[in-house]
Structure 1
Amino acid sequence: MPEIQLFKVLLALVVVVPRVLAQSPIFGQVGSMHCVVQGNSTHGIKFRSFSVETSSSTSTTKSSTSTTKSSTSTTKSSTTTTKSSTSTTKSSTTTTKSSTTTTATTTTSASSGTACTVTAIAQVSSATASCTSIVISNLAVPSSTTLNLSKLKTGTTVTFEGKTTFAFTDWDSDLIDIGGEDITIIGAPGSIIDGNGQAWWDGQGSNGGVTKPDHFITLKSTGTSLLQNLHIQNWPVHCFDITSSSGTTITGLTLDNSAGNAPNAASGGLPAAHNSDGFDVSSSTNLIITSTTVINQDDCVAVTSGNNITVSNMVCDGGHGLSIGSIGGKSNNDVSDVLFTNSIVRNSQNGARIKTNSGTTGTVTNIEWSNIQVSNISIYGIDIQQDYLNGGPTGTPTNGVIINGITMSNITGTAASSAQNYFILCGSGSCSNFDFVNVAITGGSDDSCNFTPTSGNFKCT
């Protein structure tokens, strides 16, 4: 067939076929058809392409159990959502998240990432593995179980909501482990973390009696992390163990172990709670603890190693004061550049304290207490001792731990008549460069200082 006749036939098809298809029940709504004809110098006529473009309006099917929406453009489908009275499933073409009886309830937000609500301990693992916003809601932690938040995803926020409780456990493991980079741990208004300390308290703390958790909460946080507005009460022993942390701010906490002040049947007339430190800090740097109340039976804050640590705007009630130590005989025996400031210490054994361990080595450098108000101190207003052994003083100091660069300024208040306002017991040649200015604690008697500050207006009488 000559090329001109072939061209006429094909041209007729181009005109007729769309009309036929338009009347078809299948292709009647396809929209448009395009045939592209391209000349060719060798063959005269060439068909380059033939394409059909389709479009359809969204179709929606509704029933009592499911809703499906889809749209197509060369065939594209949107997320399908199925809802029922017992479970929720959200899926996309690339990601599927589901909730079951052992995983946290999840939701997804473009702004905050994946959120999980945890109401049972079995949900914790999946929540920490996949979610960056976790709500711990009225969680009851069973016996022999740690609330494990130690591997939070970077940038995760954990919110404690309602009341978190702990069943008695005859072991020495931690009850809450927290760790991660750039994490935020906050307490919702009215929330309480209750450690059920009454089940362990026997007046002996970690020194004996019933087996107790090693710590209530361990914290290993890096980056720029924040703990805020937590209300914690009745912890068994040692509330916070902060170790190997950096760049962390702790603010607005209430630690209330006041229920442990009363004796119980097992404590022999002593306060039932013992060794109930608020914050134990080791091997940490660039740490801030501020605007927090601690009611307990041991150190309010005790720094045993680390540097660049600020403790400010504290209220410490009933414990052992603001402390450095004990230092020596540990894996890290150096502490430097610590500031305690603008705080109240009341109804406590000590106000400001440094304690180092007998026969050990280490360094305590550039430590400052400033603007500290003390009241009703029962043992020492200011206490620096280098004679601790097995947790208690021997009366004979050693000089392996070097204490250098201690500043105390504007420390005022009262001690009980049976207390000593000041007690300093340094090893031979191991204390230097003490600067005490405007230190005035009254009420106690029989002050004892074997080392005199090298500058300031301090008098130990």
Structure 2
Amino acid sequence: MATIQLFLLALIAVVPRVLAQSPIFGQCVPSTGVTTTATTTTKTTSTTSKTTSTTSKTTSTTTTSKATSTSTTTKATSTTSTTTVASGGTTCTVTAIAQVASATASCTAIVLSNLAVPSSTTLNLSKLKTGTTVTFAGKTTFAFTDWDSDLIDIGGEDITIQGAAGSVIDGNGQAWWDGQGSNGGATKPDHFIVLKTTGTSLLQNLHIQNWPVHCFEITSASGTTITGLTLDNSAGNAPNAASGGLPAAHNSDGFDVSGSTNILITDTTVINQDDCVAVTSGSNITVSNVVCDGGHGLSIGSIGGKSNNDVSDVLFTNSVVKNSQNGARIKTNSGTTGTVTNIEWSNIQVSNISTYGIDIQQDYLNGGPTGTPTNGVIINGITMSNITGTATSSAQNYFILCGSGSCSNFDFVNVAITGGKDDSCNFTPTSGNFKCT
């Protein structure tokens, strides 16, 4: 009996220690690691009379590993669409349009992953939380819809909109293109992307292609830098069954800027069939290191007949315009009023210009110029320097058609575009070495 009692006492002492080593009774399994990667993007805008100074913004993103536990009878997998970031924010990955509203309401880091936007739907990013970063990943697509609403709306303060490596935003323009653009034919979206950003906001590294008409409308925006974009509408150069032998895409402006201030567009390529950049109102706007291919050039206007008809302090610099109708252009609408003040083009290289190397005309109508200029829009303080290159033999190197007394203080220095013929200028720059022959 004593031997049995001793054995039982020893067993009672050992069993708790054995159970404590068993996973079934709560022994912790080593936790999986969490890796946090911080990406810092610096937004720098050169400070001149026509530029804006911006500051840097740091965006944190997080990758969380997934743990899978297995046994001989069951397998459990844990997944989540929301990842906690070390800084205390959240990253929301959006894969369906129905998730966009909740993501923009609650997240400051949003990834749009292979998002397919259905018919009659706008990708609404217009009310982003202050400081939000939105990343387009994979391919973003848009279904055809018979309406004139915009397809992407973006708005917010101190926000970043960026593209992940290899990402593409495809506007499915082929579904709308008919050679008429916004002048008729099928009902088309007014603009592909409307941008109303404030603070020190940044758009970077986006690849956008095949937009229906007018890619960007930058309106009521301020303090925004746009850099490293590729806008490629080259597929619209070819005619289609609806375009009557004309390029299928039409009115495919790259950037339309209105009512905005302190905007920088830089290090960007635009391949399209209309204005590369067109500024219709606003101030302190800089366009630099841009390549324009196939469109209508770097433009002011058209000005007049709109709610805001004043544009000032715009600089186009260090850029290339090729295979385009025009190089540098100012167009004001016939019989309207407004002001165009302190505009400069410098260090612009042009080639294969088919209509006008430099074009300033005050007889513009959407259906075509009238041939008779009006003087309601005042153009004052225009500088062109170091603009060189070639036009085709059927083009005019220079065309200036000002209304009576409405053009003044033009300074053209080292402007040398050759290859065209029959230049026509009814106003001579007040300074510089420019000759219109």
Give the Cα–Cα distance (whole angstroms) in 1 for the partners of residues 25 and 409 of structure 2: 81
Q: Structure 1: which 5+ runs fail to align?
A: 1-58, 68-81, 89-98, 100-104
Q: Cα gap change, 1:107/1:356 in structure 2, threshold over 3 Å: closer, same or farther?
A: same
Alignment deviations for residues 407-460 of structure 1 (CA, whole Å, 9 cap, x no partner): 000000000000000000000000000000000000000000000000000000
**Alignment pair present for 1:311 and 2:287:** yes
Match of 1:352 among 317, 321, 328: 328
Give the Cα–Cα distance (whole angstroms) in 2 for the partners of residues 306 and 85 of structure 1: 58
Q: Secondary structure at the match of 1:123?
A: helix
Give the Cα–Cα distance (whole angstroms) in 2 for the partners of residues 240 and 111 of structure 1: 33
Give the Cα–Cα distance (whole angstroms) in 1 for the partners of residues 158 and 367 of structure 2: 36
Give the Cα–Cα distance (whole angstroms) in 1 for the partners of residues 76 and 214 of structure 2: 44
TM-score for both structures, normalised by structure 2: 0.83
Considering Cα pairs closer than 8 Å and 6+ residues apart, tell me whether 1 or 2 has the greater RCO.
Answer: 2
Q: Secondary structure at the match of 1:392?
A: coil
Match of 2:354 among 368, 373, 378: 378
Give the Cα–Cα distance (whole angstroms) in 2 for the partners of residues 301 and 263 of structure 1: 24
Q: Secondary structure at the match of 1:385?
A: strand
Alignment deviations for residues 336-379 of structure 1 (CA, whole Å, 9 cap, x no partner): 00000000000000000000001111000000000000000000
Aligned position for 2:85: 109
Aligned position for 1:216: 192
Alignment deviations for residues 304-356 of structure 1 (CA, whole Å, 9 cap, x no partner): 00000000000000000000000001111000000000000000000000000
Aligned position for 1:170: 146
1:135–1:161 Cα contact (<8 Å) kept: yes
Aligned position for 1:454: 430
Aligned position for 2:318: 342
Q: Secondary structure at the match of 1:189?
A: coil
Report the alpha carbon displacement of residue 62 of structure 1 after superposing the two structures with TM. Answer: 7.4
**Alignment pair present for 1:149 and 2:94:** no
Superposition pairs of residues 372-411 of structure 1, within 5 angstroms? 372-411=348-387
Task: Read off the aligned partner of 1:249 and give its amino acid letter.
Answer: T
**Alignment pair present for 1:422 and 2:398:** yes
Task: Read off the aligned partner of 1:106 and give its amino acid letter.
Answer: T
Alignment deviations for residues 82-101 of structure 1 (CA, whole Å, 9 cap, x no partner): 9996875xxxxxxxxxx7xx
Superposition pairs of residues 15-30 of structure 1, within 5 angstroms? none
Q: Structure 2: which 5+ runs fail to align?
A: 1-23, 33-66, 69-74
Q: Secondary structure at the match of 2:415?
A: strand
Task: Read off the aligned partner of 2:267 and give its amino acid letter.
Answer: S
Superposition pairs of residues 269-348 of structure 1, within 5 angstroms? 269-348=245-324
1:112–1:133 Cα contact (<8 Å) kept: no
Q: What is the root-mean-square deviation of aligned Cα atoms in Å?
A: 2.0
Match of 1:364 among 334, 340, 354: 340
Give the Cα–Cα distance (whole angstroms) in 1 for the partners of residues 89 and 396 of structure 2: 56
Q: Cα gap change, 1:62/1:168 in structure 2, threshold over 3 Å: closer, same or farther?
A: farther
Give the Cα–Cα distance (whole angstroms) in 2 for the partners of residues 348 and 321 of structure 1: 6
Alignment deviations for residues 56-114 of structure 1 (CA, whole Å, 9 cap, x no partner): xxx984799xx9xxxxxxxxxxxxxx9996875xxxxxxxxxx7xxxxx2122132611
Aligned position for 2:105: 129
Q: Cα gap change, 1:364/1:114 in structure 2, threshold over 3 Å: closer, same or farther?
A: same
Give the Cα–Cα distance (whole angstroms) in 2 for the partners of residues 312 and 111 of structure 1: 35
Q: Cα gap change, 1:428/1:348 in structure 2, threshold over 3 Å: closer, same or farther?
A: same
Identity %: 90
Give the Cα–Cα distance (whole angstroms) in 2 for the partners of residues 206 and 270 of structure 1: 15
Aligned position for 1:197: 173
Match of 2:156 among 180, 183, 207: 180
Alignment deviations for residues 235-281 of structure 1 (CA, whole Å, 9 cap, x no partner): 00000000000000000000000000000000000000000000000
Higher Rg of the two aligned structures: 1
Give the Cα–Cα distance (whole angstroms) in 2 for the partners of residues 63 and 459 of structure 1: 85
